[in-house]
Amino acid sequence: MKILLVEDEKQISDYISKGLLEAGYDVDTVDNGEDAISYATNHDYSLILLDIMIPKKNGIEVVRYLKKQKDNTHIILISAKDQIQDKVLGLDAGADDYLIKPFAFSELLARIRAIFRRNNGGNDNILVVQDLKMNLVKRVVSRGDQMIELTTREFNLLEYFMRNKNSILTRMMITEKVWNINFISDTNVVDVYINHLRKKIDKNFDEKLIHTVRGVGYILKD
């Protein structure tokens, strides 16, 4: 599940980003409103965590712009502004929730889960490739009538493949998106995890979903 974090205070941004990654979410970070609009427009996010007091365009302006463009991505506003009128302004602009700084990280995670539960039956929370299904809210995977247990890293890797089905993914792309690190050419970590996934989602099935593109990377075929 991919989250866009918009926060101009680096210490806070690093803290939230680290916590979200540890919780199993994929995170992109930007520090101003214009970049927030650009990223939200050109990428597919499940949720945007948006500070109000950011440069170039403030959080309220970003929310209004995205809603005007019929963007239905969930938005949680985060701000030190704690007056009732501030909350009303943000929620009326189109945000799903409003969280006051400082906050406990556990509360942020609880609010994120609550938002996703509201749409638990919605197609946006279910990824499907042939008979392989992933529920992003419950974080469960099944193929046919068989439940598949995955580690957090395996789940994130499979989610990346399913969101980019029928597209060739290089090792560099995978390490940067799933591990959030720059690609190191002499590491085989991607191949090791691909092998783990294959054993879990392909081994007991006639139809194989993960395929090697020799010399390039991997592809999940629908």
Low-confidence ranges of the chain (pLDDT < 50): 121-122
DSSP label at residue 124: G
Are domains 2-118 and 123-220 of this chain identical in fold? no
**Residue 56: predicted pLDDT:** 92
What's residue 123's pLDDT?
A: 54
Answer yes or no: CATH 3.40.50.720 is held by domain 123-220. no
Asked if CATH classification 3.40.50.1110 holds for the domain at 2-118, the reply, yes or no, is no
Domain map (residue ranges) of the chain: 2-118, 123-220
The answer to whether the pTM exceeds 0.75 is no
Q: Exposed (0-12), middle (13-18) or buried (19+): which is 91, by Cβ within 10 Å? A: middle
Q: What pLDDT was estimated at residue 29?
A: 95
Count Cβ neighbours within 10 Å for each residue of 182-202 and write b for 16 or more, e otherwise.
Answer: eeeeeeeebeebbeebbebbb
Count of CB atoms situated within 10 Å of the CB of 101: 14
pLDDT at residue 185, as a whole number: 62
Q: Report pLDDT for 186.
A: 65
Supply φ then ψ for residue 47, to 5 degrees.
-155, 145
Model confidence pLDDT, tens digit, residues 172-209: 888 888 887 665 666 788 999 999 999 999 988 999 99
